[in-house]
Structure formats: structure tokens, C-alpha cells
Amino acid sequence: MKFLDQAKVYVRSGDGGAGAVSFLREKFVEFGGPNGGNGGRGGDVIVECVDGLNTLIDYRYQQHFKAKTGTHGMGKNRTGADGADVVLRVPVGTQVFEDDNETLIADLTEVGQRVVLLTGGNGGFGNAHFKTSSNQAPRHANPGQEGKEKWIWLRLKLIADAGLVGLPNAGKSTFLSSVSAANPKIADYPFTTLHPNLGVVSIGEHDFVLADIPGLIEGASEGAGLGDRFLGHVERCAVLIHLIDGTQEDVKAAYQTIRGELAAYDERLAEKPEIVVLNKIDAIDPDELKDKLKVLKRISKAEVMTVSAATRQNIDQVLYRVVSVLDEERAAAAESERRKVEPNWTP
């Protein structure tokens, strides 16, 4: 299945059914009076978050969704049936935007969440509704209200606990394949990964979801290379694993390029917890490794871990570090929620 993380869709709610103009006609009933029923309500347009989906590919082949019109009212005071709703089923992590692609309507982060985008038109009143003491035989009814329509954008942001970022060919896909059952494409040329990949990592008694984000280059936040299209998937990650290719000459520039693009896209990305990892240490000599570690520690002002994703050297240490950071983030989030409920609470 192809990966698609953005789609533009036209939606329209159903028109209400028209009210009926009808009169009772029965033998021996001289003045039966009006008995036209009301029209049914038009169907709604609903977006629902469901399990089992990880792409918006369905919306590449169908972009128009229209709810059904309510059934018209009928004689004998019969109300028309409501029109059927149309439900757009989307994966977890989908955001719904207005046509300007900036105004957020809904952010669906849990299975089962449902949002009514457009409500159907009300059904029209039949002539029985208009009967009064002074007008006992009304000969008019209301038409149903028209439905509403709009264009919307669906944008998927993968929900992962940790995200792999780095320049093209930093070894992100190799790292993901080494620590999970994911099978991303791996080759010795840049931009091998053209869409994000997800894998479930198990280490000790812990499990977490790891996302491999396609390689970024300088200017990515402005659309260079694969552009900022996939940077949005990093927004939901609690921690970033910044992989740096140890075989390249200037590791300092590699680190600064990615940090600069994250900050240019969204300052909050640059503030996320980061684990700096120098990869491919099996391909460089010890003296060169020591020099590059010194450079990275100075520029990142943090501990720099070393791995070889190809040989799995030091992989477990990085994974345990990720678990540690995730536990700290979850504890901080739980404390923040607790304080909202109990402002005076102290741990």
C-alpha cells in the first residue's frame, strides 16, 4: 500500500426532504383536513478515526463525498426518513483543515473519535404543520433546507514515540530495520526513503514506536529536497534520535544543518529531547572517532552516543536511553495533568 499523508477532499451534507401537501380522503369523512408529513433531515458529514489504517491513500482515488438527501414527507402524516450520513474513515493522527490548509478543524489522535464536519439540512414542514383555527386547509409546505458544502484538507501526522532524523544516508533505515521488524528500503544512495516508516521496538520489558523520517537537507523547511512535507511527522514524537554519519568529513555541519531545519520549521521541534548518535563507527578508525566525538559534544553540549546500525554495535544502549527519556516525558505529562485538576498538588 502506498503512503499518502495529505489529501484534499470535497464534502457536502445532505439536503432536507420537502414537506408534503396532502389531505385526508376517506369515505364518510367529510372534512378530513391536511395530513402532509414533514421531510426527513439530510445526512451529516462525519470524520471518524479508525484502527487498521496508516495512510490516506483511499482519498487519492475518491475526493468527493456527499451525504444522502432526506426523504420527502408523505400523506397520512408520514415523516420522511433521514438521509444517510457519509463517514470519512481516517487513521490515527489525522488533522482536518479548512480549504486554506491553515485553519485546524479537528485533530484525531485516538481510535473512535468522531467529528461532525457538516450537518444535514432540516426537513421541510408538511401542510399539517400549518393548520390553525383560521386556516384549516393550508395548501403549502416547506421545501427542505439545503445542505452545506466545503473543501477540506486531511493531513496525517504519524504518532510515534521516537523519531529518527538526519541527513540522507545517515543510516536511519538501517537503524530501524535493526531494532524492529520493519523492512524499509535500504541502498547506498541519498533519498532512498521516500516516505516515513514505522516500527515497533521491544527492549527489555518496554515497547515503543519508532518512526524513520526521510532525509532532510539544508533548506528543507522551505521546500528543498523532499521539503518540509515530512517534518510534520516529527511533531508528535516525544524524543528525537539524531543520527549522524560518522564516515563524512564535517560532522559539525551535519549536526547544525538538521538542528537549523528543525528550528526553522517549528521552534517546538528544536526544543524536543534529543539523543545525538554517531553512526557507522565500524567504518572509521579510533583516532578519527575520538576527534569527531569531541566536535559533536562541543557543538551539541550533550552526551554523544556511538553505534553501528549495520553490526548492531551499541544499539541496545541507545534504545534504553530512549526508554529512559520516554519515561521522564510521560511522568512530566502526568504531573502536568494532575496539576490542572489539583493546582496545589505536589509530588
Q: Which residues are known binding-site members?
A: 166-173, 191-195, 212-215, 279-282, 308-310
Q: What does the radius of gyration of the chain's CA atoms come to, in whole angstroms?
A: 29
- C-alpha distance from residue 17 to each of 45, 77, 218 (Å): 17, 14, 57
Annotated binding-site residues for Mg(2+) read 173, 193
Q: For residues 228 and 171, what is the distance between their CA atoms, to the nearest angstrom?
A: 20
CB 164 within 8 A of CB 184: no
Residues in Cβ contact with 135 at an 8 Å cutoff, skipping those fewer than 6 apart: none
Q: Tell me the binding residues for GTP.
A: 166-173, 191-195, 212-215, 279-282, 308-310
Burial of 332 (0-12, 13-18, 19+ CB in 10 A): exposed
Q: For the purposes of burial, counting CB atoms within 10 Å of the CB of 109, is it exposed (0-12), middle (13-18) or buried (19 or more)?
A: middle
286-300 vs 251-265: helix crossing angle, rounded to 10: 30
- Report yes or no: 84 and 134 within 8 Å, Cβ to Cβ: no
CA dihedral sign of residues 163, 167, 173, 176: negative
- Separation CA 193–CA 188 (nearest Å): 11
